[in-house]
């Protein structure tokens, strides 16, 4: 059994074959998939998918950094209302973070939104799922200012250096590894070898970032074994060990 700790199977990329994609994942041994929130545009689809296959999905809730603009307060209010609704059950706050890849215009607002959601995660004793792109310095600075001491969460789709990964692990974070680890000359391959196996989580980020040999095509949760095999190969350990250890870590972090 393996867990896809980060996928967007509610994305419109799966509108024509969503049930089959779920079945392919289950057939591949991936019988639990975690759905991060993005913004109010996708909440309905996310909730519908979990309602359709409650045994295979768990939900997180959060406002994604690339969905942050000058109008962020109304989006944050929706996230807050859902997170604190006792009728709902979220396993984490995410995905939240900083993304300076496309645009630095809203860095200030992204920081405000991230801090607010980090506090909610703390209030609710939930782990965080962090999305960080071209912003590791800014993120570490923000975490230093927050000064929580230790953190419960995952740096999803990790894209930093080995040093940054080790720093994140020391702070308490897990490292989310997906299809990029199969790309040629990926720094992520070095990261996958350097960090403790107990701190690695498997993820796809489907429909994005499909592993080789599917690179460039739509990604899906059924490809989790491809990622796990690559990590096993890089570390020179059996696939079974990667599957068991990462599954235990995911269950631990998200209290599954």
Interaction site with Ni ion (CB under 5 A): 205
The least CB distance from residue 156 to Ni ion, in Å, is 6
CB-CB contact of 141 with 167 (8 Å): no
CB of 90 to Ni ion, least distance (A): 15
Smallest separation (angstroms) from Ni ion to the CB of 103: 18
Whether 163 contacts 183, CB under 8 Å: no
CB of 42 to Ni ion, least distance (A): 11
Nearer to Ni ion by C-beta: 35 or 222? Answer: 35
Residue nearest to Ni ion (CB): 205
26 CB contacts (<8 Å, ≥6 apart)? 56
217 within 8 A of 209, measured Cβ to Cβ: no
Pairing state between β 92-99 and 128-133: parallel
Q: Which is nearer to Ni ion, 99 or 205 (CB)?
A: 205
Tell me: cis bond preceding 207? Omega within 30 of 0 counts. yes
Give 129 or 232: the residue with its C-beta nearer to Ni ion. Answer: 129
Can you tell me whether residue 201 is helix, strand or coil?
strand
How distant is the alpha carbon of residue 216 from its chain centre? 20
**Nearer CB in complex with Ni ion: 178/225:** 178
Q: Which is nearer to Ni ion, 75 or 205 (CB)?
A: 205
Q: Minimum distance between the CB of residue 8 and Ni ion, rounded to whole angstroms?
A: 6
């Amino acid at each position: 059994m393996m867990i896809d700790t980060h996928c967007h199977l509610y994305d419109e990329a799966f509108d024509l074959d969503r049930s089959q994609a779920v079945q392919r994942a289950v057939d591949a041994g991936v019988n639990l998939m975690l759905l991060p929130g993005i913004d109010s545009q996708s909440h309905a689809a996310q909730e519908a998918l979990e309602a359709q296959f409650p045994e295979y999905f768990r939900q997180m809730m959060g406002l994604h950094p690339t969905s942050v603009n000058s109008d962020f307060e109304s989006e944050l209010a929706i996230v807050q209302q859902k997170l604190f609704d006792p009728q709902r059950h979220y396993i984490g706050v995410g995905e939240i973070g900083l993304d300076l890849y496309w645009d630095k215009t809203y860095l200030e607002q992204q920081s405000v939104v991230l801090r607010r959601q980090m506090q909610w995660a703390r209030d609710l004793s939930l782990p965080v799922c962090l999305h960080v792109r071209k912003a590791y310095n800014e993120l570490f600075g923000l975490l230093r200012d927050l000064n929580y001491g230790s953190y419960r969460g995952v740096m999803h789709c990790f894209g930093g250096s080995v040093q940054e990964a080790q720093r994140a692990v020391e702070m308490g974070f897990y490292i989310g590894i997906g299809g990029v680890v199969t790309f040629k000359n990926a720094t992520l391959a070095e990261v996958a070898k350097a960090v403790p196996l107990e701190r690695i989580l498997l993820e796809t980020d489907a429909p994005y970032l499909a592993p080789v040999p599917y690179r460039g095509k739509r990604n899906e949760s059924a490809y989790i074994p491809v990622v796990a095999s690559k990590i096993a190969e890089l570390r020179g350990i059996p696939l079974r060990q990667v599957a068991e250890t990462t599954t235990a870590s995911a269950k631990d972090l998200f209290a599954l």
